[in-house]
Amino acid sequence: MKFWDTSAIVPLCVTEPATATVRQITDSDPSLVVWWASRTECLSAFARRRREGYLSLSTERHAGELLAVLSAAWAEIQPSDPLRSRAERLVGVHPLRAADAFQLAAALLWSQGETRGHHFVSFDRRLRDAAAQEGFSILPEDAGVRRSRVKS
């Protein structure tokens, strides 16, 4: 089981350069653990791509259908006071936005703070760096990462 950031979930639903890479990761382990808000973040990313002309309405709908299938099977870390406390610590020690801090806090809660041997899947440079500093193994290892996360 691996923790998946939204930036890695989107290419599972929409064909883009990272799609083949994330599909290889799911081929080796189809179990996904995600933050509670990831589904909403993905839908927002699909809508933004449609508004910007990168996706047709039918492609956006298909991506939403794929997301529904994925979300029915993934494990979701729910919001809680301990998670918020972790996110608040993370924004103080890493250059993360609040949404990214919640992603990483969810991964830390999932791993029960024992990050060695746990994988964090993301294409966001800052989030990958922070997750690595927290001790996670980062996938994909050779990612051409974006400067900031998937904008919703």
pLDDT value for 138: 98
Rounded mean pLDDT of the chain?
94
pLDDT value for 53: 97
pLDDT-based confidence at residue 144 (cuts at 50, 70, 90): low
Q: What is the pTM of this model?
A: 0.91
Structure confidence by residue, pLDDT tens digits, 69-113? 999 999 999 999 999 999 999 999 999 999 999 999 999 999 999
Count the helices and strands in the chain (H runs, E runs).
7, 5
Q: How far apart are CA 60 and CA 92, in angstroms?
A: 36
pLDDT value for 148: 42
pLDDT value for 88: 98
Q: For residue 23, what is the DSSP state?
A: H
Q: How far apart are CA 2 and CA 117, in angstroms?
A: 10
CB 146 within 8 A of CB 100: no
Provide the residue ranges of all domains of the chain, joining segments of one domain with +: 2-139
Residue among 151, 138, 148, 133 nearest 4 (CA): 138
pLDDT value for 143: 63
Q: Which CATH class is domain 2-139?
A: alpha beta
